[in-house]
Structure 1
Amino acid sequence: MDLTSKKEIVSEIPKFIRVYNDGTIERLNDMPRVPPSPQDPETNVSSKDILFSNDPPLFARLYLPKLSNKKQKIPILVYFHGGAFCCESPFASHHHKYCNIIASQGNVVIFSIEYRRAPEHFLPTQYNDCWLGLNWVASHNTTIENVPKNSDPWIINHGDFNKVFIGGDSSGANIVHNIAMRAGVEKLPYGVKIFGAYANHPFFWGSKPIGFENVEKFEKTSETSNLVWEFVYPCAPFGIDNPNVNPLGPMAPNLSTLGCSKMLVTIASNDRFRDRTFLYYQAVKESEWKGEVELFEEQDEDHVYYMFHPHSDKGKKLIKLVADFLHK
């Protein structure tokens, strides 16, 4: 037997993703992918997949709720899925179900981005892909003669560019923060601005406990958080204190530059990131940012509980909260 040919794990996030010495990658918890639907039987939401960028090739799933008339304009949500920057997809069954419900209850057009994942593509690729997608959506806010060649009629005909939102869950909520910060210093096409941003259970961390964070709990969570961050961004300047993951750290820019008018931050009492996210909310609220931020906490629930149980009482409550935020 040739021992040199034995397949071995060279890097991994236990129970999440494995990379082998032959180059193959095994994503252990990825949910099955489902196709788009001309009309979802539960919500009456239509969905389709589009290629919005040729270089690099990037896809997204678009959602359109049932409208009262053909000229109706509704808010636009650019959505970033979770999965630790290395797993999951907008085409995964649970993300597809979630977006159908949000599109229906929030009465919004959703543009859910299939950004590239680690370890094939390390951060900041994911941030750049999502920024590119947001720019593509914004490029529709012009005369019909100037829209991109790969423009989409759902966005042109029904998108309200005065109500552009970004939203995400877990690592997707981390992307929300970073896109909002970038929008504070870089302009989007044709005068489009981010009206609102929601961050559900965002992945934030750092090298040291801050505020009222419990030291023992911090050290326990740090083992996994550091492993994830090193896996998806091995060359990150300042490591786990990189501003992308530690917006409260000494290297982070001032939160007053957030490029949106309002923000919703949600937490769960049993989530390992709960305390740091609460401190993030406080820091945003106490900064010189001119927007409005609100916080919602669910008791006795863990990280992104609603994503896997959207029809539970607490799942329904969180989804209604997001839907209402998209229409305030």
Structure 2
Amino acid sequence: MDSTTATHGKEMVSEIPTYIRVFNDGTVERPRQAPFVPPSLQHPNTPLSSKDILISHNPSISARLYLPNSILPTKLPILLYFHGGGFFFESAFSQLYHSHFTAFLSHLHLLVVSVDYRLAPEHPLPAAYDDCWASLQWLASHFTPNNPTNSDQWLIDHGDSTRIFIGGDSAGGNIVHNIAMRAGSEALPGGVKILGAIYSHPYFYSSQPIGSEPRDIDNEKSFLGLVWKLVYPSAPGGIDSFVINPMAPGAPSLAGLGCSKMLICVAGKDKLRDRGVWYYEGVKQSGWEGKLELFEEEGEDHVYHIFNPESENGKKMIQRLASFIFE
């Protein structure tokens, strides 16, 4: 059998080995996708409740909301979260992220809206960017006189409109950048503002290597380059599109980022480590006027806190996020 032909006569038209296989009949296999798990309303064994809601019917955008079971009388900060997975796998409903937020919110008292945006290649970028921006608009509209028809009572009763954060890991960290840039130029309903942005091991890239990245490979043919071609084949500028390369020639100035403070997290063993530092330096040199912080865990790899939220360093990162949110 030809190497590009799968069982049942389906032909594989593209592949990133062990991550994704795309077939000529439109089906997609994601071998690394974590299983989905249901939400847990008032679960007796956890300090929080969770539920799934529909943000939009067309396009279909959903989210999983998390709320502490022991509600304090004050309003809670809100974290609008964008999961990782290279824009082509993972989900707000997966066991990986559900377990992460169960651990995360055992240490933090806030309301989380984890967005389940559309995935490539069925829905190539900019679909995910558009979905996450629509989710932020939906969130902001809860704090206007005219709520959306699918408003959520948890947000109305417990959310603090003055303490809205956006956050994400890996591809989700890239989404954070693009949403913060858009928020710097487009008004949100009710004049709502993003207070803070959290970038966890963000996925940035370019045609030219930086820092300690290898000089002897073609970045467009590297793993990160192949992922980008899969998820955004029509990207203007390709791997140097300003949505993946914020320092590309002609890219909008980072001084326009629409938030008051930023935390950029990197890991010493992560191949994306230098990109996070590169972005941090770019923001610092741009003239952006907010509060900028960099946090590095030298002995860890990419998104270690997602895979091992209860580890010593996972808890350390959660504590760092807590100090950023509640300072």
What's 1:169 paired with?
169
What's 2:182 paired with?
182
What's 1:270 paired with?
269
Which residue identity is paired with 2:105? A
Q: Report the 3-state secondary structure (helix = DSSP H, G, I; strand = E; otherwise coil) of the residue aligned with 1:198.
A: strand
Which residue identity is paired with 1:59? S
Which of 17, 23, 28 in structure 2 is aligned with 1:25? 28
Aligned counterparts of 1:318 and 1:245: Cα–Cα separation in 2: 25
Answer yes or no: is 1:47 the counterpart of 2:54: no
What whole-Å deviation, never above 9, does each CA across 1:9-39 have from its counterpart, x for those lacking one? 1012211010112221100100011000013
Aligned counterparts of 1:64 and 1:20: Cα–Cα separation in 2: 40
What TM-score, normalized by structure 2, do the two folds share? 0.94
Which residue identity is paired with 2:152? D
Aligned counterparts of 1:68 and 1:179: Cα–Cα separation in 2: 29
**Structure 1 ranges of 4+ moved more than 6 A:** none
What whole-Å deviation, never above 9, does each CA across 1:280-322 have from its counterpart, x for those lacking one? 1111122211101111111121111111111111111112211
Which residue identity is paired with 2:305? Y
Q: Report the 3-state secondary structure (helix = DSSP H, G, I; strand = E; otherwise coil) of the residue aligned with 2:215.
A: helix
What's 1:255 paired with?
254
Which residue identity is paired with 1:315? G
Shift of 1:323: 2.2
Which residue identity is paired with 2:147? V
What whole-Å deviation, never above 9, does each CA across 1:205-244 have from its counterpart, x for those lacking one? 000123x344437757961111000000000000000011
Aligned counterparts of 2:208 and 2:165: Cα–Cα separation in 1: 32
Matches within 5 A, 1:36-185: 36-69=39-72, 71-143=73-145, 146-185=146-185
Which residue identity is paired with 1:148? P
What's 2:14 paired with?
11
Shift of 1:108: 1.0
Aligned counterparts of 1:124 and 1:245: Cα–Cα separation in 2: 11
Aligned counterparts of 2:296 and 2:221: Cα–Cα separation in 1: 22
What's 1:284 paired with?
283
Q: Report the 3-state secondary structure (helix = DSSP H, G, I; strand = E; otherwise coil) of the residue aligned with 2:305.
A: helix
Aligned counterparts of 1:326 and 1:222: Cα–Cα separation in 2: 38
Q: Report the 3-state secondary structure (helix = DSSP H, G, I; strand = E; otherwise coil) of the residue aligned with 1:262.
A: strand
Matches within 5 A, 1:214-229: 214-216=213-215, 219=218, 223-229=222-228
Q: Report the 3-state secondary structure (helix = DSSP H, G, I; strand = E; otherwise coil) of the residue aligned with 2:103.
A: helix
Shift of 1:79: 0.3
> How many correspondences in the alignment?
323
The answer to whether the 8 Å contact 1:31/1:93 transfers is yes
Query: Percent of aligned positions with the same letter in both sequences?
Result: 53
Change (3 A) 1:214 1:111: closer
Which residue identity is paired with 1:153? Q
Change (3 A) 1:214 1:55: closer
Q: Report the 3-state secondary structure (helix = DSSP H, G, I; strand = E; otherwise coil) of the residue aligned with 2:112.
A: strand
What's 1:319 paired with?
318
Shift of 1:41: 4.7
Which residue identity is paired with 1:147? N
The answer to which of 172-181 and 222-231 deviates more is 222-231
Aligned counterparts of 2:268 and 2:323: Cα–Cα separation in 1: 22
Aligned counterparts of 2:232 and 2:218: Cα–Cα separation in 1: 20
Change (3 A) 1:217 1:311: farther
What whole-Å deviation, never above 9, does each CA across 1:71-108 have from its counterpart, x for those lacking one? 43010110000010010000001101112233342211
Change (3 A) 1:106 1:306: same
Which residue identity is paired with 1:34? V
The answer to whether the 8 Å contact 2:174/2:203 transfers is yes
RMSD: 1.9
Gaps of 5+ in 1: none
Gaps of 5+ in 2: none
Q: Report the 3-state secondary structure (helix = DSSP H, G, I; strand = E; otherwise coil) of the residue aligned with 1:174.
A: helix
Answer yes or no: is 1:298 the counterpart of 2:261: no
Which residue identity is paired with 2:39? P
The answer to whether the 8 Å contact 1:221/1:272 transfers is no
What TM-score, normalized by structure 1, do the two folds share? 0.94
Shift of 1:42: 5.0
